[in-house]
Amino acid sequence: MKISAPGSTLMSFLVGLGIIALLSTISIPYIKQYQPNLELSSNAKIITTDLRYAQQLTIAEQVTHKIIFFIDSNTYSIVKNSEPAETIKTVELSSGITFQEITGFTDDEVVFNYYGGVSQSGQIILINSNSKTKIINVKPSGYIQLMQ
């Protein structure tokens, strides 16, 4: 039976801890650089989901719904076109994510008709602090496409 030298378990633990600390020190800057890209993808998917949600509400309730984009405040709202208009949901983009451009839509509004189509087609372009962009296309038929 072999008996280990006193303190060898502690030394093994400290060496392991040192390796973990070294790997963390190397990888944290890369993770911080990649985080804005993850936030951009997440926000683009949320907007795409909310566009589809407004489209489904219009079809199901047979009352037009729209999404209004507020470029200055980096927010958007899902609104039911009823008397009076009813705001269903308001969303603020994550910090570091902004609307670069919204094209093709009058007054920055995507309005769905009873069949799920839109009154006007266009694009929503998001940009992050790394200058990466995501484009959401809205076709006349109501097809909503997130460009990768």
Measured in degrees and rounded to the nearest 5, phi and psi for residue 6 equal: -60, 130
Report strand pairing: 109-111 vs 98-103: unpaired
- Interval 130-148 mean pLDDT: 93
More confident residue, 143 or 25: 143
Query: In this structure, which amino acid lies at residue 53?
Result: Y
Output the DSSP codes for 99-129. EEEEESSGGGEEEB-TTS-BSS-EEEEEE-T
Residue 93 in this model has a pLDDT that exceeds 60: yes
Please give the model's pTM, rounded to 2 decimal places.
Answer: 0.79
What average pLDDT does this structure show over 100-110?
A: 94
Closest to 141 measured CA to CA, from 121, 111, 122, 123? 121
Answer whether residue 1 shows pLDDT above 60.
Answer: no
Query: How much is the pLDDT for 111?
Result: 95
Strand partners, 42: none
The domain covering 8-147 belongs, at the CATH homologous superfamily level, to: minor pseudopilin epsh domain (3.55.40.10)
Q: Domain ranges in the chain? A: 8-147
